[in-house]
């Protein structure tokens, strides 16, 4: 029987994409597209500009100059690969097992190889396009600084394509195996495993590259050790290293075909092995994935626990809150995004812990400021992500169920009330607990900022201003009001009483984050100008010691 | 044409289909009846090769759907209960795409598309995106897609849902003619009048098992139902006759 071509199987996808662009244009969205393109170009230019300056500066350093850019590229590509593996695992679950068009494709006489390649391509595209776009200005900066010429673009493409294929095949294979292991569609268990594996994998990868060694050249016995480390491959068995070697080899005019050969042959071998695995396991896995959601969920536990706790609420509000909580825990699509967020936080905390701040010697004023504001940024990022992704669209997510809500005598205020509290309570609790788990030391560092400012006698105690701003933007607490009323003196004495409670958590940090950053830059600059960048704390900061 | 041999499907510990054996000969319009959750859709999805049976096998024209999927599926046109259509394709593009999945292209396909769209009165909509179609029009498009490659048998889950009376009549005529020309149709339905009027043979499924099979007269005879209507027979076999009084269920209206 004549089989449809791969392009034919993929046809609806690209036609759909084209149609969406056409519709956008027809709706007068050309302006929107242009703005989007301009923002994208601006972002590219920003990334290019920053990297260009760094590479230019590094290139001027003798001996280490040519080595460090290679190392940086290796690290960038390694982080790309780790993100891609996770992204591909999650995307593969959708494209291979949950997509709506699968019934049509599986019931048609399309052979397994075409189905595999089509879905692999779909997964690859969906999960890698952002990374591929991000790579453009980075590689362009390398090409320009190292004068790679016009052909460098093509060469870089040759190195990057197999590097994208490998995590896609790996992600699909992992998903395929997991779907086969778990009975029925236990996506919940599946995603937990994926998340744990991914978090572990990411931490492992970051550990493997030992970034702290690069930041501590003084820890090497001599310069030679440092150079040897820089010359050595970061992770010789990972395709990111091969891609980095291939690209840097081209740029240094030391063409070595081996890395490219390794990349392409490994990619080909992976696709072949992936296809073999697909042939053996897909039909069984697809059947398991079709076995619907979990059956026989009685939801008794929720009713006994949360239901009892909410017994004082009117029945409509209680049922709404219960419904939202149940749906959240049963709808795994919401989980994957939270899991990704959690992984990012874990990586962040890991990196902060790995910073060379815990060795007992005095810590630079700049570092204390930096860590404090990274914390502030993290709190804002977490809150903004959760609020924007989960709470903001909560009402509109009712979507198809609106007929039921609007045709019932439900008071819309009850709907809004329950949506508000279902979102707010976990945020408030998380906002309180999460920083306590991992960042206690760094909260204290914020308090120390005040002390630094005061000890230095800078005009208006920059740390104090910053903390005051933090407290103002806390919004939900009464204390700041008191501080404002009684002035800075009262604020300082309150700080003395509060001591360790000077944490950075706040539900509304993100709103005021940028003004705070601007003030921080300003005060830091002043402090640096007045006392020089090398100024250290008068005594080792106890909170920053291990 | 369609042969099910000891077909069993478990979802975890839940038995959705329990050791079903059935033969649907060529040139027959066969109806699968049963209450909600009886296992009809699962059976049909196994026949279409979407689900793998836990035990047993499905033969389409002699080919095992899971051993020789390509040749078995070439004979089949499948219409699921909740069909998916790519919203951003036009009706004609969708039909062309499906024809391609069956290895067909060229002028003959274009003629076939025009013919089917004409029959289902979708010609004026052929270049409209599917997202603009009504539910019934989508249903007609799906049925056209199942016929595009001239299958030998059609497996259809709840074909009448969402169709207007005219389209429903048209579909009945199409299935009837298809069967008269040697094709085979296996359909599941809740509409007992449709089954009684259209089907040459029926099977009533309850809790994953076939509790009755044959022509309607055969089933009446097997279960000593006299001249009872198919509805009464169905309720008798599926336990529906024991439902409580309607008034009791609805309660008093205030």
Domain ranges within chain B, ordered by starting residue: 2-75+152-250, 83-150
Overall number of domains in chain A: 2
Q: Is residue A43 part of a domain?
A: no
Which domain does A365 fall in, by range?
Answer: 361-544
Residue A268 and residue A371 in one domain: no
Q: Which of A275, A295, A315 is the last residue of a domain?
A: A295
Which chain A positions have a beta carbon within 8 Å of B70's beta carbon?
1, 109, 111
Cα–Cα nearest to B5, from B36, B33, B43: B43
> Could you give the angle at the alpha carbon of A60 between the alpha carbons of A252 and A536, nearest 5°?
130
pLDDT in tens, A477-507: 333 333 333 333 333 333 333 333 333 333 3
**Is residue A61 classed exposed, middle or buried when 0-12, 13-18 and 19+ CB atoms within 10 A define those classes?**
exposed
Mean pLDDT of chain A: 72
- Higher per-residue confidence, A513 vs A227: A227
**Contacts with A, B 103-162, CB within 8 Å:** 103, 129
Confidence of residue A166 (pLDDT cuts 50, 70, 90): very high
Q: Are strands B55-60 and B63-64 parallel, antiparallel or unpaired?
A: antiparallel
Which chain B positions have a beta carbon within 8 Å of A104's beta carbon?
83-84, 98, 101
Residue A133 and residue A226 in one domain: yes
Beta bridge partners of B129: B90
Model pLDDT, residue A516: 53
Model pLDDT, residue A480: 33
Q: Do B89 and A15 touch (CB under 8 A)?
A: yes
Q: Is residue A345 part of a domain?
A: no
Residue A74 and residue A221 in one domain: yes
Model pLDDT, residue A331: 67
Q: Is residue A103 part of a domain?
A: yes
Q: Are strands B76-79 and B153-157 parallel, antiparallel or unpaired?
A: parallel
Q: Which of A295, A315, A346 is the last residue of a domain?
A: A295
> Count of CB atoms within 10 A of residue A500's CB?
10
Q: Is residue A356 part of a domain?
A: no
- Higher per-residue confidence, A346 vs B30: B30
Residues A86, A198 contacting (CB under 8 angstroms): yes
Residue A176 and residue A254 in one domain: yes
Which chain A positions have a beta carbon within 8 Å of B51's beta carbon?
287, 290
How many interface pairs between A and B have CB atoms less than 8 angstroms apart?
Answer: 86
pLDDT in tens, B29-72: 999 998 888 899 999 999 998 888 999 999 998 899 988 888 89
Furthest C-alpha separation in chain B:
65
β-sheet with B2-11: strand ranges across: B14-24, B2-11, B55-60, B63-64
Residue A281 and residue A365 in one domain: no
- Higher per-residue confidence, A407 vs A120: A120
Helix axes A6-26, B91-101, angle to 10 degrees: 170
Q: What ipTM does the predicted assembly reach?
A: 0.70
Residue A131 and residue A217 in one domain: yes
Q: Where are the alpha helices (DSSP H) in chain B?
A: 40-47, 69-74, 91-101, 107-119, 135-147, 165-180, 192-198, 216-222, 230-238, 246-250
Say if domain B2-75+152-250 classifies as CATH 3.40.50.1000: no
Residue A388 and residue A289 in one domain: no
Q: Which of A295, A317, A333 is the last residue of a domain?
A: A295
Confidence of residue A455 (pLDDT cuts 50, 70, 90): very low
**Which of A320-334, A383-397, A492-506, B72-86 is the least confident region?**
A492-506
In the predicted structure, residue B15 carries a pLDDT above the cut 80: yes
Which of A109, A182, A186, A289 is the best residue to mutate to test the B interface, defined by the most B CB atoms within 10 Å of its own CB? A109
Confidence of residue A273 (pLDDT cuts 50, 70, 90): very high
pLDDT in tens, B19-34: 999 999 999 999 999 8
| Residues 6+ positions from A7 with CB-CB distance below 8 Å | none
Q: What's the average model confidence in pLDDT over A76-102?
A: 86
- Cα(A355)–Cα(A434) distance, integer angstroms: 20
Residues A327, A400 contacting (CB under 8 angstroms): no
Which three-class secondary structure string do you get for A247-315? HHHHHCCCCCHHHHHHHHHHHHHHHHHHHHHHHHHHHHHHHHHCCCCCCCCCCHHHHHHHHHHCCCCCH
- Higher per-residue confidence, A543 vs B160: B160
Q: Of A2, A184, A290, which has the smallest distance from its Cβ to B51's Cβ?
A: A290
Q: Is the dihedral angle over the CA atoms A513, A519, A520, A522 positive or is it negative?
A: positive
Residue A396 and residue A535 in one domain: yes
**3-class SS at A168?**
helix
- Cα(A469)–Cα(A76) distance, integer angstroms: 35
- Cα(A275)–Cα(A254) distance, integer angstroms: 36
% of chain A with per-residue pLDDT over 70: 59
In the predicted structure, residue B243 carries a pLDDT above the cut 80: no
What's the gap between Cα B251 and its chain centre? 36
């Amino acid at each position: 029987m004549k089989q449809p071509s791969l392009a034919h199987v993929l046809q609806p996808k690209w036609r759909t994409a084209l149609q969406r662009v056409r519709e956008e244009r027809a709706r007068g969205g050309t302006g929107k597209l242009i703005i989007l393109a301009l923002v994208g170009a601006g972002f590219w230019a920003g990334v290019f500009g920053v990297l260009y300056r760094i590479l230019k500066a590094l290139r001027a350093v003798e001996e280490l100059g040519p080595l460090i850019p290679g190392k940086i590229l290796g690290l960038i590509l390694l982080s790309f690969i780790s993100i891609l593996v996770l992204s591909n695992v999650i995307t593969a679950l959708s494209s291979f097992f949950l997509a709506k068009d699968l019934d049509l494709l599986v019931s048609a006489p399309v052979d397994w190889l075409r189905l595999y390649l089509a879905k692999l391509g779909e997964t690859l595209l969906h999960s890698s396009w952002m990374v591929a776009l991000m790579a453009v200005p980075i590689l362009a900066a390398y090409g320009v600084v190292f004068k790679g010429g016009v052909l460098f673009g093509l060469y870089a493409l040759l190195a990057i394509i197999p590097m994208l294929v490998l995590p896609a095949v790996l992600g699909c294979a992992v998903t395929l195996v997991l779907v086969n292991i778990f009975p029925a569609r236990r996506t919940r268990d599946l995603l937990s495993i994926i998340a744990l594996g991914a978090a572990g994998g990411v931490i492992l990868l970051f550990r493997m590259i030992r970034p702290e060694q690069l930041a501590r050249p003084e820890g090497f016995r001599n310069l030679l050790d440092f150079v040897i480390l820089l010359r050595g491959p970061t992770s010789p068995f990972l395709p990111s290293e091969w891609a980095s070697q291939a690209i840097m080899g081209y740029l240094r005019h030391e063409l070595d075909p081996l890395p490219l050969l390794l990349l392409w042959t490994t990619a080909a071998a992976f696709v072949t092995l992936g296809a073999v695995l697909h042939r053996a396991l897909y039909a069984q896995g697809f059947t398991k994935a079709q076995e619907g959601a979990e059956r026989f969920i009685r939801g008794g536990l929720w009713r006994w626990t949360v239901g009892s706790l909410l017994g004082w609420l009117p029945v409509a509000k209680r049922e709404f809150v219960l419904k939202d909580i149940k749906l959240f825990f049963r709808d795994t699509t919401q989980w994957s995004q939270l899991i990704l967020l959690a992984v990012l936080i874990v990586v962040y905390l890991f990196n902060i812990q790995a910073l060379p701040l815990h060795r007992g010697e005095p810590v630079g004023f700049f570092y204390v400021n930096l860590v404090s504001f990274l914390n502030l940024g993290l709190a804002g990022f977490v809150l903004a992500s959760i609020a924007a992704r989960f709470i903001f669209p909560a009402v509109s997510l009712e979507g198809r169920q609106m007929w039921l809500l609007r045709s019932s005598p439900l008071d819309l205020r009850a709907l809004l009330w329950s949506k508000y509290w279902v979102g707010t309570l976990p945020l408030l609790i998380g906002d309180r607990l999460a920083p306590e788990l991992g960042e206690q030391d760094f909260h204290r560092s914020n308090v120390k900022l005040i002390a630094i400012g005061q000890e230095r006698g800078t005009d208006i105690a920059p740390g104090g201003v910053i903390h005051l701003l933090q407290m103002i933007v806390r919004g939900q607490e009464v204390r700041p009001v008191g501080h404002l009323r009684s002035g800075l003196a009262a604020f300082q004495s309150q700080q003395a009483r509060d001591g360790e409670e000077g944490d950075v958590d706040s539900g509304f940090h993100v709103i005021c984050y940028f003004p705070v950053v601007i003030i921080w830059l300003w005060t830091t600059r002043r402090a640096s100008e007045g006392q020089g960048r090398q100024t250290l704390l008068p005594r080792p900061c106890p909170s920053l010691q291990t | 044409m369609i042969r099910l041999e000891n077909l069993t499907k478990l979802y975890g510990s839940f038995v959705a289909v329990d050791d079903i054996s059935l033969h649907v000969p060529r040139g027959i319009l066969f109806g699968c009846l049963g209450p909600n959750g009886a296992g009809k859709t699962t059976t049909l999805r196994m026949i279409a090769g979407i689900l793998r049976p836990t035990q047993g096998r499905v033969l389409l024209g002699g080919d095992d759907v899971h051993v020789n999927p390509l040749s078995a599926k070439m004979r089949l046109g499948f219409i699921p209960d909740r069909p998916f259509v790519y919203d951003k394709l036009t009706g004609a593009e969708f039909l062309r795409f499906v024809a391609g999945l069956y290895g067909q292209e060229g002028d003959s396909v274009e003629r076939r598309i025009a013919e089917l769209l004409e029959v289902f009165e979708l010609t004026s909509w052929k270049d409209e995106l599917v997202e603009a179609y009504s539910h019934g029009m989508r249903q007609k498009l799906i049925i056209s897609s199942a016929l595009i490659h001239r299958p030998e048998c059609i497996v259809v889950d709840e074909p009448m849902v969402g169709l207007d009376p005219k389209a429903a009549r048209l579909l009945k005529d199409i299935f009837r003619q298809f069967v008269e020309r040697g094709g085979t149709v296996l359909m599941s339905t809740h509409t007992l009048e449709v089954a009684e009027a259209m089907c040459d043979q029926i099977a009533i499924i309850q809790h994953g098992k076939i509790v009755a099979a044959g022509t309607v007269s055969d089933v009446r005879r097997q279960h000593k139902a006299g001249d009872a209507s198919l509805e009464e027979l169905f309720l008798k076999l599926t336990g529906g006759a024991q439902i409580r009084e309607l008034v009791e269920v609805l309660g008093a209206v205030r």
